[in-house]
């Protein structure tokens, strides 16, 4: 009898230890535990400079608030995966909004989140063939927010998911910082076939199809660039825009003390479109 109780006690003890270990690992992930306000300010060192049109717009608080609507972000997998996702997301939005240049103070990769809206758009980004998300007269769907959300077929579903009318009020993305970050996180976590979501790629959930493998669309940061802007940047060999995204990513991986992984470039990948 005593032996049975001892075994039962040992099993309970082991279970508690394992549960505690899981809790610690889960606690290690999560956005606020990975990136503090101090680190956020260090990453986006010049975002509030007078030279940046978005001066004062992108705040740490608005980023954290927006991320609460996407609990899977920076909270899936082990700590390395979580850190890698944060680095990849911040790198991509940094390139999309960069105000840096080769000889910029503190280097070109310290100038992310400098813009909140595309400068001098050439058109209103209305795809009139899309009947599901029809354009509204006199509205422009040019790039806005951290991910530079563009086109009516992105503004419509993003607005529906977030809770604002993206077709009638696209300007909200450049007026409300929480909405701005939410559109970026919506794009990051949403699958748009045949493209996987950026989130699924970085957490290792994406498995290349045979056509993906033939197109060299392998898991890694380069594939995320392909998802975001592959039609213009990928499959072209060396590309300065792709190199800029990688530069941001490597800097942030260093700051977060995480290995960047493999397949950072998309120069030899065929785009999805």
**Residues annotated catalytic, as ranges:** 96
Axis crossing angle, helix 2-28 with helix 79-96, rounded to the nearest 10: 10
Rg (CA), the chain: 21
Contact 142, 125 (CB under 8 A): yes
Place of tokens 């009139």: 128
Q: Which of helix, strand or coil describes residue 85? A: helix
Q: Tokens 């505690």 label which residue? A: 20
115: its two tokens = 């813009």
Those residues whose C-beta lies under 8 Å from the C-beta of residue 222, and which sit 6 or more positions away, are: 234, 242, 263, 264, 265, 266, 267, 269
Dihedral, 59, 85, 93, 141 alpha carbons, nearest 10: -100
Q: 159-198 in b/e burial notation, b at 16+ Cβ within 10 A?
A: bebbebebbebbebbbebbbbbbbbbbbbbbbeeeebbbb
Residue 60 makes CB contacts below 8 A (sequence gap 6+) with 37, 40, 41
Angstrom distances, CA of residue 40 to CA of 61, 80, 150, 240, 257: 10, 18, 26, 25, 15
DSSP summary character for residue 272: -
How many Å apart are CA 77 and CA 80, to the nearest integer?
Answer: 8
């Amino acid at each position: 009898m005593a032996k049975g109780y001892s075994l039962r006690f040992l099993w309970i003890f082991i279970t508690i230890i394992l549960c505690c270990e899981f809790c610690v690992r889960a606690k290690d992930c999560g956005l606020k535990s990975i990136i503090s306000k101090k680190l956020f300010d260090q990453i986006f060192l010049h975002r509030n400079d007078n030279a940046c049109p978005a001066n004062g717009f992108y705040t740490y608080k608005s980023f954290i608030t927006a991320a609460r609507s996407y609990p899977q972000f920076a909270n899936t997998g082990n700590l390395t995966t979580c850190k890698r996702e944060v680095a990849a997301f911040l790198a991509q939005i940094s390139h999309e909004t960069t105000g840096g240049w080769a000889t910029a103070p503190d280097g070109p990769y310290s100038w992310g989140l400098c813009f909140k809206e595309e400068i001098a758009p050439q058109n209103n980004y209305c795809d009139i063939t899309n009947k599901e998300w029809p354009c509204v007269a006199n509205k422009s769907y040019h790039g806005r927010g951290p991910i530079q959300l563009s086109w009516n077929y992105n503004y419509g579903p993003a607005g529906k998911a977030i809770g604002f009318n993206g077709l009638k009020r696209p300007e909200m993305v450049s007026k409300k910082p929480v909405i701005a970050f939410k559109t970026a996180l919506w794009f990051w976590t949403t699958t748009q076939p045949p493209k996987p979501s950026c989130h699924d790629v970085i957490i290792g959930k994406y498995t290349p199809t045979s056509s993906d493998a033939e197109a060299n669309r392998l898991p890694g940061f380069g594939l995320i660039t392909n998802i975001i802007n592959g039609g213009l940047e990928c499959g072209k060999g060396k590309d300065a825009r792709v190199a800029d995204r990688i530069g941001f990513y490597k800097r942030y991986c260093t700051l977060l003390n995480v290995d960047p992984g493999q397949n950072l470039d998309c120069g030899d990948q065929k785009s999805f479109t």
